[in-house]
Structure 1
C-alpha cells in the first residue's frame, strides 16, 4: 500500500482540483491520499469562503482518505514557509511515499536543479536579492529576478536568465519549487511528482462552456451572488449551498472590516510594529491613511496602502495577521524553521482509519484528533483563527466559534 500527499486549500474544491487529485493517484500509483489543507485563512491572506470542516467534507467526497490541517502559523505565510510547513507535516506522518503538485512546467526536469540551487542560498543569490530589493521591487518579484540571475551563470539580461525568470514568475512553478526545497532541507524520502496545470490561470476570467475555472474566479462569482455549479463537482455545490443557507458563507475579507478597524484604531504604531509583516514603517503608513477612509473598508485600506514595493497579497496577509494578533516573535523565522509541533486531523474516511493506525507507529509528531486534549501555543492560534472566521457567519453562534473543541473530525 502506497500513499500520495497533496497540499491544497480547496477554496472551494472545484473541477480542476478533481483533475489534479485523479492525476496524482494515477501518476503515483498510490492506493491512498493524504491532503494537507489550509484552515480558515489562506496563503494569499484571504478568509476561506467556507469553513474548514465544510471543505474537509469536499475533500473526503472527492476520495481523500485523510485530511490534515496546515496550522495558521504556516497557512498565512509566503510560499517559502507555507511549503515548509505543509511538507513537514506530510513527512512527519511517516506514511506518505510521494508528493504530487501541479505546475506550469509539468515536468521536474527544470524544477529539480533549480530547487537544488536555491536550497543552498548562495552568496550570489543573497547579493542579487539585496540589489533587487534596494531598487524597490516587491519581495516576490525581487526573489524571482535574483534567483534567475544567480542560477543562470551568464548573468543579468542573458537568455538563460530570462528563461529562469519566466519559470519563477509562474505561480505554480514557484510554489512547487518551494515544495522541492522543503523536501531537500528536511532530507525527506518523499518522492516529488508534478502534473501539468491545465485550464484557467489564477487571473483568468470564467469561460462559458468550460468546466474548469480558477478558484479566484469561482469565489468572485460566489460573492457576486452567482452559481458556480458548472465549475464544481456536485458534492462541492451541495455543501456550499448548505453552508450558505445556514449563514456560514461565503465569507470574505469585508466581513471582518469592523474588527479590523477596531484593531487598527486601538493599537499604537509601536504595537502594530510588533505584529507579523508590519515592517519598514508600514505601521506609520497605516496610521496615516486611516483618517481618509470614509467609509472604512478592507478594499479601500488595501488600495490606500498598495505600492510598487508591497503587493496586494503581502498587504492582505499583513491585515489578517493584525486581525488575528500574530506577533513577530511567536512566528519568527527561527520558530517557523522548527516546523509544526503536531499533526491535526480534520477528517478521514474508513480507509483513513488504517492510515491513522499506522501513524501511531510512524509519526514523529503527536497526532491530534481533539484540540481539547492537546496544549500548544500554535494550536491555540488555530482555534482562535477558526473562532474569528466563524464570527463572520450569520447568525454567528458560539457552537461555531468553538467547533474545534466541540466537534470531532469529519467522517467521510
Structure 2
C-alpha cells in the first residue's frame, strides 16, 4: 500500500490543493494522509472553518485521512511547522512519500539549498543576522542569495517552506521521500481572485469583504463552494473579539508571567502592554507592535501564546518531544481501512477520543501536573475554545464531544 503525506492548512481548501491531490493520483494510486492545522494557522489567525469541517471537505476532495497537527507546532514558525508535520507523518510508520508544493520546480536545487542552510557556519550567520533584526526569510536570502536565480527562489514563500520540509526530512532521518509538485496559479499572498487557481488569501479576503460569493465558484471544488456560499457573517471568525480578553489578560498578569510566555523576550512584553492600551482593534495592535526585528506573523503568534498562557519552558519541552499523538479528524472509506495499519506500525497513539487522555476537568489542573501527551493535547482543546470566541454565532463543536467524521 503506497501512502503519501501532505502537510497543509486548507484555509480553505481550493483548486490549488485539488490540483496537488490530482497530480499525486496521476503518479500512483497512493492513499493520502493530510496533517492539517487545527483551530489556528501558522500566522496566528483563527481558521475560516473549524477543523472538523475543513477535514470533512478535504476528504470529499480526495484525502483519505485527515489528522490534526498539534497547536504547539501548527501555530509556529515555518521551520517548526514543517518539523512537526514531518515528525508526525514519520511516526505513523506507514507513510512513504511527503508531497509538497513550491514555486520552483527543481528538487535538486532546493535540496542543495536546504543542505547549504544546515551547514554550521551558515546557521551561525543566520542566528547572527536574525539577532540583528532581519526576519528569518530575509536572513536566509541575505546569506544564500549569492546570485539572482537563488535570490528569486528565496523570495517565494512556498520555496522557503519546501526548504524547511527538506531540512526536516534530513534532520529527523525520516524515511519519507520528497515529492515536489510545482505550484500553479496565483501567488501565495496574491490578494485578488485570479481565474480557477486563486490563493487562499484572496478567497478569505473576498469573503470578509462581502464580495459576491458566486465569484468564488471558479476557484473552489464544488463541495467547498457549496459550504462557503451559505456561510454567514456571524460564522466567520473575527479576531477583534480577542482584543478585550487579551487586554484583560495583560492587565491582570504579573510581569514575570508575561516574560515567561513563549515568544516574549527583550522587553517585548512592555511594548505589547503599551500598544494594547491604545489599540482599537486586533489588526492595529499587531501593526503597532510589529518592528523590523519582530515581524507581524511572529507578533500574531505571540499574542496567541499570551492568551493561552503557553510558556517558553513548555514549548521547549514540546519541541524536544515532537508530536506525541495522531489525532484523527476525518476519514474516507479507504482511509478507515488504514487505521488498523497505523495502530500496528505507529510509534505514537492514534487518538479518536479526547477523553482517552484528557477531560475538561483535568484540563483545569496545573499543566505541570499533566503527562506530556495530555499537556500537548490541552493546547489543542484550548485553541478550539479560543477560536469559538472569535465567532459571533459561536460554534457547536468542541474537542470533548466531537468524534472523528467517517464519510461514506
Hey, what does 1:321 align to over in structure 2?
Answer: 305
Match of 2:200 among 210, 215, 221: 215
Between the aligned partners of 1:236 and 1:8, the Cα distance in structure 2 is 16
Between the aligned partners of 2:222 and 2:308, the Cα distance in structure 1 is 34
The number of residues matched between the two structures is: 389
Matches within 5 A, 1:198-347: 198-207=184-193, 210-226=195-211, 227=213, 228-242=216-230, 244-245=231-232, 247=234, 249-293=235-279, 296-332=280-316, 334-347=317-330
Look up the SS of the partner of 2:196 in the other structure.
Answer: coil
Following superposition, the deviation at residue 139 of structure 1 comes to: 3.1
**Any conservation in 2 of the 1:345–1:367 contact (CA below 8 Å)?**
yes
* Structure 1 vs Structure 2 CA RMSD: 1.9
**Any conservation in 2 of the 1:273–1:279 contact (CA below 8 Å)?**
yes
Hey, what does 1:408 align to over in structure 2?
Answer: 403
Following superposition, the deviation at residue 134 of structure 1 comes to: 4.7
Following superposition, the deviation at residue 110 of structure 1 comes to: 0.5
Residue 46 (str. 1) matches residue 30 (str. 2): no
**Any conservation in 2 of the 1:207–1:213 contact (CA below 8 Å)?**
yes
Residue 128 (str. 1) matches residue 121 (str. 2): no
CA displacement 1:180-235 (0-9 Å, x = unmatched): 11111221111101111111112223245x11111111111111122133321121
Q: Measured at CA, do residues 207 and 224 of structure 1 come closer, stay the same or move farther in structure 2, by a change above 3 Å?
A: closer
**Any conservation in 2 of the 1:12–1:55 contact (CA below 8 Å)?**
yes
Between the aligned partners of 2:140 and 2:253, the Cα distance in structure 1 is 32
Normalised to the residue count of structure 1, the TM-score between the two structures is 0.89
Hey, what does 1:155 align to over in structure 2?
Answer: none
Residue 6 (str. 1) matches residue 6 (str. 2): yes
Following superposition, the deviation at residue 245 of structure 1 comes to: 4.5
Between the aligned partners of 2:139 and 2:340, the Cα distance in structure 1 is 45
Match of 1:138 among 120, 135, 157: 135
Between the aligned partners of 2:52 and 2:399, the Cα distance in structure 1 is 10
Once the two structures are overlaid, the 10-residue window that deviates more, 338-347 or 134-143, is 134-143
Match of 2:394 among 393, 396, 406: 396
Between the aligned partners of 1:71 and 1:231, the Cα distance in structure 2 is 29
CA displacement 1:36-73 (0-9 Å, x = unmatched): 00000001111101100110111010011100000000
Normalised to the residue count of structure 2, the TM-score between the two structures is 0.90
Between the aligned partners of 2:283 and 2:133, the Cα distance in structure 1 is 23
Match of 2:378 among 365, 377, 380: 380
Q: 5+ unaligned residues in a row in structure 2: which ranges? A: 359-373
Look up the SS of the partner of 2:181 in the other structure.
Answer: strand
Between the aligned partners of 1:283 and 1:63, the Cα distance in structure 2 is 44
Between the aligned partners of 1:108 and 1:94, the Cα distance in structure 2 is 24
CA displacement 1:75-124 (0-9 Å, x = unmatched): 000011100110111111111111110001112110112223334x41x2
Following superposition, the deviation at residue 261 of structure 1 comes to: 2.1
Following superposition, the deviation at residue 164 of structure 1 comes to: 3.1
Following superposition, the deviation at residue 241 of structure 1 comes to: 4.2
Look up the SS of the partner of 1:102 in the other structure.
Answer: strand
**Any conservation in 2 of the 1:35–1:64 contact (CA below 8 Å)?**
yes
Between the aligned partners of 1:10 and 1:252, the Cα distance in structure 2 is 18
Q: Measured at CA, do residues 384 and 205 of structure 1 come closer, stay the same or move farther in structure 2, by a change above 3 Å?
A: closer
Once the two structures are overlaid, the 10-residue window that deviates more, 33-42 or 314-323, is 314-323
Over 6 Å off, 4+ runs: none
Following superposition, the deviation at residue 281 of structure 1 comes to: 1.4
**Any conservation in 2 of the 1:251–1:393 contact (CA below 8 Å)?**
yes
Q: Measured at CA, do residues 138 and 269 of structure 1 come closer, stay the same or move farther in structure 2, by a change above 3 Å?
A: farther
**Any conservation in 1 of the 2:116–2:122 contact (CA below 8 Å)?**
no
